[in-house]
Amino acid sequence: MQASIGGRPVVSPVLTASGCSSFGQELDPFFDLASIGAVVTKSVQLRPRSGRATPRMAETPSGMINSIGLQGPGIEGLLADELPWLAARGAQAFVSIAGSRTEDFAELAERLRGAPGVLGLEVNISCPNVESRGEVFACNPDASAEVLAAVRAAADPAHPVYAKLTPDVTDIVSVARACADAGANGLSMINTLLGLVIDTDTMRPVLGGVTGGLSGPAVRPVALRCVWQVHQALPNVPILGMGGIRTGLDALQFVLAGAGAVSVGTAVFNDPSAPARIHAELAEALGERGFGRLADAIGYAHRAPEESSGRHGR
């Protein structure tokens, strides 16, 4: 399956999702990391971060909720250890960056210029697991545009820059449009939804951080709605779709809604080989429906009802 991220070709339209696969080491025993489109790293910040208070994760009826809080090694650790490790395996890294100020994002993009094995940048302007919801740039179109413009100006011109958006807004299309107008080469949708779980024995919130990000199959219809709405409004803007993808047919739904590639996140906790398996299942599903190319299926669900005739030869 030929695919691309912001115009750069990748061997597969299936990537990992930020946060769930760390920097790829945990998945390495289960499949060849070079066989997927890229490893989307945990969000990295300028300095190492210990994250939020424990407990940080809990199961929910259709997924999980977490409040990790952007724990990570910082940009120095990423450049010294994680990126060289991925490059040595022939894997590409789609580096997720996060910051508290616009200047933080721009400095991170600058530091990643020329780094080995970097496919592009995913700008995490929508993490729900920070101390202050005021840091969620993606809740405001102007703030989102300011960050994306700064990153695009500072980043290596060869690195596609994707904005990661939150569904926790009234109008995601307005935020998506602001990011694209500011220079984003693509959009990652969606980040987790802000949620809460209460332990009925202790009668207290389960997570040490009280609230957390809900992921897994429960959020898939929300993610698909976001991809659909943004593709309909901005059909030429590449979309990396994510949210509860467990199978090739789940991934196909995102492609039909308008995504040109997908990220697999929570599913790896149950099946660490999920990205490679979903690649194979998606290829089979496209072939069974008569699609000779992935590109022909992107946004196919948006066609008029009268064009529907069951199976479709392409």
State pLDDT tens for residues 2-58: 899 999 999 999 999 999 999 999 999 999 999 999 999 999 999 888 878 899 999
Tell me which residue of 138, 297, 142, 295 sits closest to 226, measured CA to CA: 138
User: Cα(306)–Cα(304) distance, rounded to whole angstroms?
Assistant: 6
The 3-state secondary structure of 262-295 reads EEECCHHHHCCCHHHHHHHHHHHHHHHCCCCCHH
Is residue 289 within 8 A of residue 308, CB to CB? The reply is no
What is the mean pLDDT of the segment spanning 196-211? 96
Residues recognised as catalytic: 127
pLDDT digits (tens, 9 = 90+) for 219-248: 999 999 999 999 999 999 999 999 999 999
Q: Please determine, for residue 310, whether its predicted confidence score (pLDDT) is greater than 80.
A: no
The Cα 309–Cα 290 span in angstroms is: 12
* DSSP run (H or E) holding 108: helix 102-111
Chain-wide mean pLDDT for the chain? Answer: 93
Task: Please state, in angstroms and rounded to a whole number, the distance separating the CA atoms of residues 93 and 86.
Answer: 7
pLDDT over threshold 80, residue 312: no
Residue 72 confidence (pLDDT) = 84
Q: What is the pTM of this model?
A: 0.94
Q: Among the listed ranges 193-197, 216-220, 310-314, which one has the minimum average pLDDT value?
A: 310-314
Instruction: Look at residue 133 in the predicted model and tell me its pLDDT.
Output: 54
Q: What is the pLDDT of residue 311?
A: 55
| Mean pLDDT, range 199-212, rounded to an integer | 95
CA 95 from centroid of its chain's CA atoms? 10
Average pLDDT over every residue of 62-89: 92
